[in-house]
Structure 1
Amino acid sequence: MIPIRSVVVSSVLLSKIEGEFKILLMKRVKGGFWCHVAGKVELDETASQAILREIREETNIQPKHLFSADYIEQFYEASLNVIEMIPAFVAICQDEQTVVLNKEHTEYRWCSLPEAKALVVFSNQRKLYDFVWENFVENKPEPLLQIY
């Protein structure tokens, strides 16, 4: 048996940089790979409260709007022998959003969709970015997905 675990949330952050939507990617200290915001849900937190806390902790950003992405990231974590199920969110940030990284990351970039997909190493990240781009940039998001 392989347990299914859901203790982490994630968010793709979008900002208009020089008039074009971009995705925020950060390079993690641990592992040295590029990623979007993610972190564990703490006791007595909802998923949306947890992702807002993680966004604030990792980037010092307060998004203008937060949406459920209507997407679950999933992968097998071999070290724990679990299938991770991670609810994804989309955070719409101020235009030309500034970023203040915490100690978990060494650098950041606001990326076009092709740039973001070229930087990340995991296929599920690329699938998530394609999904977010199609449903939140190229098309207007479904209002029922908006959290605030």
Structure 2
Amino acid sequence: MIPVNTSIVSGVALSEIDGEMKMLVMKRTKGNFWCHVAGSIEAQETGWQAIVREFSEETQIEVTHLYNAQFLEQFYEAYYNVIELIPVFVAVCPPNQTIEINHEHSEYKWCTLDEAKHLAPFPNQHAVYDHVWSYFVEKPINDLYRVKLKPSN
């Protein structure tokens, strides 16, 4: 039997950079590969609360427009013998969003879809980026995907 882990969330940031919509990818120091924001859900957090915190910790983005991407990243992690099911979120940022990466990343880039897919090594990342681009860049964003952010207590 292979256990399923559902304790991780991920998110793609979008911002209009110098007039062109782009997505944020960062190079992880652990593993030395390009990826989007991701992290573990902490005690008493919902998935959307965890991704808002992760955006803040990893990039200093203060999320004000968050969407459920309606997509699950899924893959088998051989080292841990676990299937990861990871809900994906989208943070739509103001134009020319500034980024300040933390110690988990060595560099970042705002990328077009093709650039992000060229940098990201995993097929699941390509599927996430294709989906996000299709439903959040090429089409008007469906308001049903919006996550209503509540003030934290």
Band the TM-score falls in, shorter-chain normalisation: over 0.9
Letter in 1 for 2:13: L
Following the alignment from structure 2 to structure 1, what is the Cα–Cα distance between the partners of residues 140 and 64? 16
- Structure 2, gaps ≥5 residues long: 149-153
Q: CA RMSD in A?
A: 0.7
What's the CA shift string for 1:7-30, capped at 9, x where partnerless? 100001000001111010000000
Following the alignment from structure 2 to structure 1, what is the Cα–Cα distance between the partners of residues 125 and 91? 16
Following the alignment from structure 1 to structure 2, what is the Cα–Cα distance between the partners of residues 110 and 142? 23
Residue 91 of structure 1 pairs with residue 91 of structure 2 = yes
- Structure 1, gaps ≥5 residues long: none
Corresponding residue for residue 139 of structure 1: 139
Following the alignment from structure 1 to structure 2, what is the Cα–Cα distance between the partners of residues 93 and 142? 16
- Structure 1 segments (4+ residues) deviating >6 Å: none
SS in structure 2 of the partner of residue 125 of structure 1: helix
Residue 140 of structure 1 deviates from its aligned partner by: 1.3
Letter in 2 for 1:138: E
For these two proteins, the number of residue pairs brought into alignment is: 148
Following the alignment from structure 1 to structure 2, what is the Cα–Cα distance between the partners of residues 77 and 99? 29
Residue 4 of structure 1 deviates from its aligned partner by: 1.1
Whether the aligned pair in 2 keeps the contact of 1:5 and 1:83 (CA below 8 Å) is yes
Following the alignment from structure 1 to structure 2, what is the Cα–Cα distance between the partners of residues 124 and 96? 27
Letter in 1 for 2:122: F
Corresponding residue for residue 64 of structure 1: 64
Following the alignment from structure 1 to structure 2, what is the Cα–Cα distance between the partners of residues 9 and 83? 14
SS in structure 1 of the partner of residue 48 of structure 2: helix
Corresponding residue for residue 121 of structure 2: 121
Which structure 2 residues correspond to residues 69-80 of structure 1 after superposition, within 5 A? 69-80=69-80
Corresponding residue for residue 6 of structure 2: 6
Corresponding residue for residue 51 of structure 1: 51
Identity level (%): 55
Following the alignment from structure 1 to structure 2, what is the Cα–Cα distance between the partners of residues 57 and 137? 25
SS in structure 2 of the partner of residue 69 of structure 1: strand
Following the alignment from structure 1 to structure 2, what is the Cα–Cα distance between the partners of residues 80 and 141? 36
Whether the aligned pair in 2 keeps the contact of 1:64 and 1:94 (CA below 8 Å) is no
